[in-house]
């Protein structure tokens, strides 16, 4: 993804310096923030550089151009996000299906708070057809969704999740899990809901579980 990494081709190669990595990270986070606030079109590379506290030509240096930077930034969040969920699944692999999925939702909700850009960027790009949306779907959404559809189907077979189109059910769950956190600014003012409060996140998790997984879990042996 980054220039330096892929530059290992000709003769002289020297390993990437630490400060370079730091700069890239700063740029990626700033890009994420900016893109999630103003969309791809509404964001200028200069704005990103400013947020990162970096001179704007460094974007060209590190990421070639705006598109590449967007992709690198999106890739970072979604990769992180999926890793985070996978970790939760593995960590709770010996618990009953309902508990496992509840933990997954919890992980989703907490990740969404730590990185609300996850959901915002998705909505931004989904607002009209464009190559970035296609990339996002093929690279991250489809693989992730596919695996989760099956989880949902299991839960339905066990009578834990309600019947109906599992894809629809899944999308509802992901929407509330990520969407509420993305609306943080609004909810505080419109509904007296403080998404910074851990208590709120737990309430959200509990409610999602109560609503979307109403079936009884098997009593633990």
Q: Which of 1, 16, 39, 154 binds a copy of itself (CB under 8 A)?
A: 39
In the region spanning residues 133 to 152, those forming contacts with a copy of itself, defined by CB under 8 A, are: 133-134, 137, 141-142, 145
Q: Mask 28-67, x = binds DNA (CB under 7 A)?
A: ---------------xxxxx------xxxxx-xxx--xx-
Tokens 């923030």 locate to 33
In the region spanning residues 145 to 204, those forming contacts with a copy of itself, defined by CB under 8 A, are: 145, 162, 164-165, 167-172, 175-176, 179-180, 182-187, 189-193, 200, 203-204
Residue 134 Cβ, how far from a copy of itself at the closest point, in Å?
7
Where do the H-state alpha helices sit in 8-158?
18-38, 45-52, 57-63, 66-91, 97-114, 117-126, 131-136, 142-157
Which one, 13 or 138, has the nearer CB to a copy of itself? 138
- Cα–Cα distance measured from residue 109 to residue 167, given in angstroms and rounded to the nearest whole number: 19
Partner that binds at residue 165, options a copy of itself, DNA, none, CB closer than 5 to 8 Å by kind: a copy of itself
- Tell the burial category of 41 from Cβ atoms under 10 Å away from its Cβ (0-12, 13-18, 19+): exposed
In the region spanning residues 64 to 93, those forming contacts with DNA, defined by CB under 7 A, are: 65-66
Report residue 215 CA to chain centroid gap. Answer: 28
Q: What is the dihedral angle through the alpha carbons of 3, 115, 48, 184, rounded to the nearest 10 degrees?
A: 170
Which one, 130 or 171, has the nearer CB to DNA? 130
């Amino acid at each position: 993804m980054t220039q330096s990494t892929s530059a290992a081709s000709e003769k002289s190669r020297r390993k990437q310096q630490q400060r370079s990595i730091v700069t890239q990270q700063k740029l990626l986070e700033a890009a994420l923030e900016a893109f999630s606030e103003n969309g791809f079109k509404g964001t200028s590379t200069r704005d990103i550089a400013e947020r990162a506290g970096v001179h704007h030509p460094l974007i060209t240096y590190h990421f070639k151009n705006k598109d590449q930077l967007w992709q690198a930034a999106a890739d970072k969040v979604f990769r992180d996000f999926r890793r985070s969920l996978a970790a939760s699944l593995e960590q709770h692999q010996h618990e009953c299906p309902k508990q496992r999925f509840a933990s997954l939702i919890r992980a989703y909700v907490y990740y969404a708070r730590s990185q609300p850009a996850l959901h915002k960027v998705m909505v931004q790009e989904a607002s009209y057809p464009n190559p970035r949306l296609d990339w996002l779907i093929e690279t991250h959404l489809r693989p992730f969704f596919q695996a989760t559809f099956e989880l949902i189907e299991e839960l339905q077979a066990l009578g834990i999740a309600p019947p109906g189109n599992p894809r629809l059910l899944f999308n509802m769950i992901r929407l509330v899990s990520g969407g509420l956190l993305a609306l943080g600014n609004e909810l505080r003012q419109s509904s007296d809901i403080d998404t910074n409060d851990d208590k709120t996140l737990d309430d959200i998790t509990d409610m999602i579980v109560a609503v979307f997984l109403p079936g009884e879990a098997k009593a633990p042996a």
